[in-house]
Amino acid sequence: MKVWTDLSEIPGDEKSVVTIGNFDGMHNGHRRVVASCVERARKRGVDAVAITFDPHPTQVHRPEVNLQLISPLRDRLDAMASCGLDATLVEHYDQSVYTLEPEDFVTEFLVDRLGAVEVVVGEDFRFGAHNLGTIDTLRALGRTYGFDVVMVTDIQAPEGRRWSSSWVRELLTEGDVAGAARVLGHLHRIRGTVEHGFKRGRSLGFPTANLRGGIEGVVPADGVYAGWVVRTVPGTQSAEFLPAAISVGTNPQFDGVERTVEAHVLGRSDLNLYGEKIAVTFVSRIREMMTFDSLDELLFQMDNDLLKTASVLGIAVANRVDPDSVTAV
């Protein structure tokens, strides 16, 4: 999938079926819209193209909300590419975009640059200055400028709730990463750079890769999770998936105050991830965050966490490592 970051990068002879949206998290509802765009583009023999925005409009218009995107832009684009899109325009969302009148947006983006023959959108689609443009507006402009408009109706989960980004956020706030994965259609993932910590885990046989500030993506509720650390193998473009027990919280056992994500890669004492940007993927919540009356109780529980993590991930059981064998410095 080609990724354009400016209208000037789009070839002048482009013909396409276009879909437009923020696609935060690329959940099942988004996937249905994008899949429809791809299907209709294939029938017409033109490119399937999406327009998405960075930063998210809420981050621009309501900064006080402090909206954290469900997934980093990189993962959003990967998910969009997996749906079969030929290209995506990542448009920088600023005043030059949100002050465009609906007709100006249509002519500048859809007609002049993308050569839209059809536009596919969801039921709640709005566009143009002050969100004045509706689907009816888009249809009227389509008749003027020669493109069709297709509205994809909302789909619902078996329990009758609409697939949505807000639902994903609710589930992550509750620590239900498995439920979030069902709504998303894929496992939830965050990204960050590994930093030095207090190295308490190392001394106990549980060395961890620590993420603190600058984490991209919504961090789920405090607790212990089974999941994967995903890193790029040095010197290659290949991804390495490492099974991990993941702790999210302030480490109340040691009176911590800063919320961190700490991932212990099962059975590994030879990793040096400091300074690497990694992804942490959540599969299932093992337990809530707890404090214990003694170090022995803590170690007993952590050993049990390793057993549960191995069971969830379907891998061989790995015990805590020898602290003296840890190679990271």
DSSP string, 54-111: ES-HHHHH-GGG-PPPSS-HHHHHHHHHHTT-SEEEEEE-SHHHHTS-HHHHIIIIII
Given this model, what pLDDT does residue 153 score? 87
Calculate the alpha carbon distances from 158 to 152, 163, 171 in Å: 18, 10, 16
Q: How far apart are CA 258 and CA 212, in angstroms?
A: 8
- Whichever domain contains 136, its CATH number is 3.40.50.620
Query: Please, are residues 251 and 199 in contact by the beta-carbon 8 Å criterion?
Result: no
Pull the structure tokens for residue 256: 């911590």
Same domain for 125 and 196: no
195 plus 316 within the same structural domain:
yes
Domain annotation covers residue 38 = yes
Q: Tell whether the model's pLDDT for residue 253 goes beyond 70.
A: no
What is the reported pTM?
A: 0.89
pLDDT for residue 1: 96
Q: Work out the average pLDDT over 198-211.
A: 79
Is position 166 within any domain?
no
- Write the CB contacts of 96 (distance below 8 Å, at least 6 apart in sequence): none
Q: Which CATH number fits the domain that encloses residue 224?
A: 2.40.30.30
Band of residue 328 on the pLDDT scale cut at 50, 70, 90: low
Q: How far apart (Å, rounded) are the C-alpha atoms in residues 149 and 17?
A: 10
Confidence of residue 51 (pLDDT cuts 50, 70, 90): very high
Same domain, yes or no: 124 and 28: yes
Q: Look at residue 95 in the predicted model and tell me its pLDDT.
A: 95
Q: What is the pLDDT of residues 111-126, one digit of tens each?
A: 999 999 999 999 889 9
Q: Which domain holds residue 67?
A: 2-152
Domain presence at residue 183 = no
Residues 256 and 147 in one domain: no
pLDDT at 257 over 70: no
Same domain, 203 and 148: no
138 domain-assigned: yes
Is residue 123 domain-resident?
Answer: yes
pLDDT number for residue 263: 95
Q: What is the mean pLDDT of residues 50-55?
A: 96
Q: pLDDT tens digits for 54-102?
A: 999 999 999 999 998 999 999 999 999 999 999 999 999 999 999 999 9
What percentage of the chain reaches a pLDDT higher than 90? 73
pLDDT tops 60 at residue 283: yes
Q: What backbone phi and psi angles, to 5 degrees, belong to 51?
A: -115, 125
Domain boundary among 134, 152, 170: 152
Section 269-277 average pLDDT: 89
Per residue in 150-204, pLDDT (tens digit) is: 999 877 777 878 889 999 999 999 999 999 999 999 999 999 999 987 667 677 7
Average pLDDT score, the chain: 91
Q: Are residues 283 and 141 in the same domain?
A: no
Q: Which of 98, 128, 152 is the last residue of a domain?
A: 152
Q: What strands, in cross-sheet order, belong to the sheet with 87-92?
A: 2-4, 87-92, 47-54, 16-20, 116-122, 148-152
What is the model's pLDDT at position 319?
Answer: 85
Mean pLDDT along residues 262-289: 93
The residues facing 101 across adjacent strands are none
Please tell me whether residues 7 and 143 are part of one structural domain: yes
- Do 128 and 194 fall into the same domain? no
Looking at the structure, tell me whether residues 120 and 220 fall in a common domain.
no
Is the CB of residue 278 less than 8 Å from the CB of residue 240? no
pLDDT at 102: 96
Structure tokens at 48: 């399937």
Domain presence at residue 168: no
- Is residue 56 domain-resident? yes
Q: Are 26 and 145 in a shared domain?
A: yes
**What is the per-residue burial (b if ≥16 Cβ within 10 Å, else e) of 133-159?**
bebebbbbbbeeeebebbebeeeeeee
Tokens for 273, please give them.
């991830």
223-239: pLDDT as tens digits: 999 999 999 887 788 88
Task: Work out how many domains the chain is built from and give that number.
Answer: 2
Write the pLDDT tens digit of every residue in 293-319.
888 888 899 999 999 999 999 999 888
Residues 222 and 307 in one domain: yes
What are φ and ψ of residue 235, in 5° steps? 80, 5
Label residues 223-259 b or e (16+ Cβ within 10 Å = b). bbbbbbbbbeeeeeeeeeebbbbbbbbebebeeeeee
Region at 175 (left for phi over 0; alpha for psi -120 to 50; beta for the rest): left
Structure tokens at 24: 């935060």
How far, in Å, are 88, 246, 311, 312 from residue 227 at the CA level?
30, 7, 11, 9
Are 143 and 199 found together in one domain? no
One-letter amino acid of 266: L
Angle, CA 70 vertex, CA 230 and CA 179 arms, to 5°? 85
Residue 160 counted as domain residue: no
CA–CA separation, 187 vs 244, rounded Å? 14
Alpha-carbon distance 46 to 86, whole Å? 9
